[in-house]
Amino acid sequence: MDSRLANSWRLTVNEKNFIKTALQSEIRIDGRKPYEYRKISIKFGRDDGSSEVQLGQTRVMGIVTTQLVQPYRDRPNEGTLSIFTEFSPMADPSFEPGRPGESAVELGRIVDRGLRESRAIDTESLCVLAGKLVWAIRIDLHILDNGGNLVDASNIAALSALLTFRRPECSLGGEDGQQVIVHPPEVKEPLPLTVHHLPIAITFGFFNDESISVIDPTHNEEAVMSGRMTATVNANGDICAIQKAGGEGVTQRVIMQCLQLAIAKATGITKQIKEAVEVYNTERSLRKIKRHPTSVGTIVQGGQTQTSGKEGVSESPGNHIERLKQLSGETCTSQSSEERKTTSTDGNAKNLIRGPTTWDPYSKGVGPELLKTSLASQGTSMPNEKQDLRNEKKPGEAEVEGHHPEDANPGSSAINESLTGLQTKKERTLEDAVKPKSKRKKKASSKTGAS
Amino acid sequence: MEIDREDGRTQNQLRPLACSRNILNRAHGSASWSQGDTKVLAAVYGPKSGTKKNENPEKACIEVIWKPKTGQIGKLEREYEMVLKRTLQSICILTINPNTTTSVIIQVVNDDGALLPCAINAACAALVDAAIPMKHLAVAICCCLTESGYVILDPTKLEEQTMKSFAYLVFPNSILSVLPEESLLVGGERMEHGIITSVTHGVMSVDDYFHCLERGRAASTKLSDFLRRNLQRHQTNPSKAG
């Protein structure tokens, strides 16, 4: 449609000059330094294998699904991996629906090469019946918002989705052992994929004047820059792939500098992805635990009340929105996400544990973690949350078993006693055997809801 | 007789609703709507100049693009696009910006039943966020008919698949007006009792269908209240150029 040309976005000459001049003094228009990455936040959906990554203003959603197919002739005992990129018209008015354009294809190829050629995913473990049936992994990348640097965000989305994906377990049966029975998730726990390492893509932009290079360009900078390079590296220092398709020529020194910088950034990003996946996995295992509504014996009555998450519209929707934003499947972000974790487990809560009646927010020695008491009805969730809390806050500490956990805030003995009492009544699970905790978190929204 | 639903809800109980607007930066208007586990993201761009070949250039045109969570775009997606387009065309004021196209893009984030109503609600909220002129809003609900003839609201995917039949119903939202009651009536009936869209699947008797309509109407009042409260709470950004 030629009238669409009128709708395509162009940067004005003034804006272009401003960006270039600012870069000469090492300032970028969003306030970053030239080698500073934007904030990454990784969230996961309810199902396994769906992730949403936000890199500054860029938003990408990654979905992983799988299917049993016939393998390729020349690789009869390897599974397949295919990546589909959708430059949704939602992300940018200039994206057209229909066949992917060249930048969409390039993005798909970069992510694909990073995963396939570097053998990040173990495809041999995806084989079910050699030569007959293998698992075909399909990664769909939906670009929701184009704020620049789609490649990096898509790569992180693909990796997070792959790490949280679970494929169904299948076994061979039948008379000749040639029949494949796929077990549904209720029968047998699905298995995660074998990921050897995480190839992280880092994009650099090059500008005309005096070989200025920036990392993680935004949308405006992409319109100004004259060359780009994407280096896919992993935390071990291996270079998995480099993509520099034309554009401004740069000296070898600059390339080496960029590669070293990429490796440094990759370690940070890998750590972030792993942390987010860890939180998701914990939350997922909490969800799997079968809950009995009457498991908690003593309930400490307190001042805070909160309605359970099942009500219909007749409940005050205002509270709902806040709570549900945390409830509705978003299980983790890159920052500490204990609140989210708790609230998502509370989605099915029927009974509630109230906080102690004599809770004073300004009493000395009560840390922010203690201010939030969990509302989970089932005590089994308690030890897990505390375990993660403990893991995140005091990694070097020795594990403490039993009902008298350490307390960093001695002034809150009242809370401790009630928690201890509660702890004795909980069902014991495997998590209990590892690290029971005393600290509990309350939904942040319950305070806003009640107040 | 009470129907036992898997997740413990009663017959007329909806799943928890959540709506947030202005979540995307590039889109002129965006909204995410979730009913329980079903979550849909809607983005609006518009109005842009020009209409498509077969469209009437004397009116504004609405274009809907439906993106499924995974897989190829097939006939089901095209059907949803068509239903959504016709619904939105009846609520938007098309004479204000003639010869323009407003694009509504729907992205399915998670499908756990009642997908089309969720998408219609999300599209409505996104249109409000983009400040597209509309006559009134639309609220959509899904009503399922069980074997025993009971109507349950807002089914999950499992319930939808096992039920005899279900209907997606779209009503105008409830009116809050200072005008006297009589002037609001259209043909002797209140305006919000009208149906904008109805899509049914499966076989149901006429009585059952009217029963569904009644229940749907009752639920639509609750949905309208939720929508109104939600829209009044947040203010939209004044400008989203580029």
Q: In the prediction, which pLDDT does B12 show?
A: 86
Nearest by CB to B18, which of A88, A310, A320?
A320
Q: Which of B15, B227, B14 is nearest to B124 (CA)?
A: B227
CB spacing of B67 vs A140 below 8 angstroms: no
Q: Is B224 on the interface with A (CB under 8 A)?
A: no
Lowest mean pLDDT among A36-40, A109-113, A116-120, A345-349: A345-349
Written as one string, the DSSP assignment of B146-198 is: -TTS-EEES--HHHHHHSSEEEEEEEEPPP--SS-HHHHEETTEEGGGS-SEE
Residue B50 has a pLDDT of: 84
What integer pLDDT is reported at residue B186 of this predicted model?
Answer: 72
Which whole number is the average pLDDT over B62-85?
Answer: 92
Three-state SS for A200?
strand
CA A273 to CA B185: how far, in whole Å? 57
Q: What was the pLDDT predicted at A437?
A: 52
Whether the per-residue pLDDT at A421 is higher than 60: the answer is no
d(CA A71, CA A79) in angstroms, rounded, equals 7
Q: Give the pLDDT confidence score for residue A330 in this predicted structure.
A: 43
Distance CA A25, CA A347 (A): 51
For residues B5 and B73, the model is more confident at B73
Residue B53 has which token pair? 């070949």
**CA–CA separation, A148 and A145 (whole Å):** 9
Inspect the interface and report whether the beta carbons of A45 and B109 lie closer than 8 Å. Answer: yes
Mean pLDDT of A273-290: 89
Local confidence band at A86 (pLDDT 50, 70, 90 cut-offs): confident
> Across A214-223, A316-325, A375-384, B145-154, which has the greatest mean pLDDT?
A214-223
8 A C-beta contact, residue A286 and residue A236 = no
Q: How far apart are CA A279 and CA A331, in angstroms?
A: 8
Q: Are B28 and B44 in contact (CB under 8 A)?
A: yes
Give chain B's mean pLDDT. Answer: 88
% of chain B at pLDDT higher than 90: 54
pTM of the full structure: 0.74
How confident is the model over B132-150, as a mean pLDDT? Answer: 90
Cα separation values, A255 from A233, A247, A250, A381, B25, Å: 14, 14, 7, 50, 32
**pLDDT tens sequence across A190-211:** 889 999 999 999 999 999 876 7
Percentage of chain A modeled with pLDDT above 90 = 38
Q: Which of residues 142-181 of B touch A (CB under 8 A)?
A: none
The whole-chain average pLDDT of chain A stands at: 73
Q: Is the pLDDT of residue A104 over 70?
A: yes
Length of chain A: 451
Mutate to test the interface with B, among A313, A325, A445 (most CBs of B within 10 A): A313
Share of chain A above pLDDT 70, in %: 62
Kindly report the nearest CA distance between residue B189 and chain A, in angstroms: 25
pLDDT band at A433 (very low <50, low <70, confident <90, very high): low
Please report which confidence band the pLDDT of residue B57 belongs to, taking 50, 70 and 90 as the band edges: confident
* Mean pLDDT along residues B57-81: 91
Residues 6+ apart with CB under 8 A from A198: A120, A159, A163, A234, A235, A270, A273, A274
B237 confidence band (pLDDT: 50, 70, 90): low
Q: Would the pLDDT of A318 be above 50? A: no
Instruction: Look at residue A400 in the predicted model and tell me its pLDDT.
Output: 39
- In A195-234, the residues whose Cβ lies within 8 Å of chain B are 219
pLDDT(A337) > 80: no
Mark yes or no for CB contact B37/A328 under 8 Å.
Answer: yes
**Among A394-398, B66-70, B138-142, which is the least confidently predicted range?**
A394-398
pLDDT digits (tens, 9 = 90+) for B69-79: 988 889 999 99
User: In the prediction, which pLDDT does B149 show?
Assistant: 80
pLDDT of A409 > 70? The answer is no
Instruction: Show which of residues 142-161 on chain A sit within 8 Å of chain B, judged by CB atoms.
Output: 142, 144-147
Q: Which residues contact A356 (CB under 8 A, 6 or more apart)?
A: A300, A302, A373, A414, A415, A418
Q: What is the average per-residue pLDDT within A324-337?
A: 41
Q: Is the pLDDT of residue A42 over 50?
A: yes
Q: What is the DSSP letter of A99?
A: S
Locate all alpha helices (DSSP H) within A74-168, ordered by sequence.
Answer: 102-116, 150-164
Of A7, A138, A312, the CB nearest to B49: A7
* pLDDT of A245 above 50: yes
- Report how far residue A242's alpha carbon sits from residue A236's, in angstroms, rounded to the nearest whole number: 16
The minimum CA-CA distance between A207 and chain B, rounded to whole Å, is: 23
Does pLDDT of B44 surpass 80? yes
Distance CA A35, CA A57 (A): 18
Q: Do B26 and A147 touch (CB under 8 A)?
A: yes
**Whole-number Å distance between alpha carbons of B202 and B144:** 10
Q: Which of residues 70-109 of A touch B (CB under 8 A)?
A: 86, 88-93, 97
- In sequence order, which residues have a C-beta less than 8 Å from that of residue A17 and are 6 or more positions away? none
DSSP class of residue B134? B
Question: Which of chain B's residues have a Cβ under 8 Å away from the Cβ of A142?
Answer: 67, 107
What does the pLDDT look like over B175-230, one tens digit per residue?
A: 877 777 777 777 767 777 789 999 999 998 999 899 889 899 989 989 999 999 99
Give the confidence band of A173 by pLDDT, cuts at 50, 70, 90.
Answer: confident
Residues with Cβ within 8 Å of A108's Cβ and at least 6 positions away in sequence, in order, are A83, A84, A85, A100, A141
Q: Tell me the sheet residues that pair with B92.
A: B134
Work out the average pLDDT over A51-62.
Answer: 94
Contact with chain A for residue B190, Cβ under 8 A: no
A290 vs A165, more confident: A165
Q: In chain A, which among 311-340 make CB contacts under 8 A with chain B?
A: 311-314, 317-318, 320-321, 324-325, 327-329
Q: ∠ CA(B106), CA(B107), CA(B110), 5° rounding?
A: 130
CA distance A411 to A151: 50
Residues 18-47 of A with CB under 8 A from B: 45-47
CA A422 centroid distance within chain: 32
A/B interface, count of CB pairs below 8 Å = 125
Confirm if A442 and A304 have CB atoms less than 8 A apart.
yes
Domains and CATH numbers, chain B: 17-233 (3.30.230.70)
Give the best residue of A63, A90, A144, A222 to mutate against chain B (max B CB count within 10 A).
A90
Q: What is the pLDDT at residue A311?
A: 37
Q: What are phi and psi of B199, to 5 degrees?
A: -125, 125
Tell which residue, A187, A198, A114, has the closest CA to residue A164.
A198
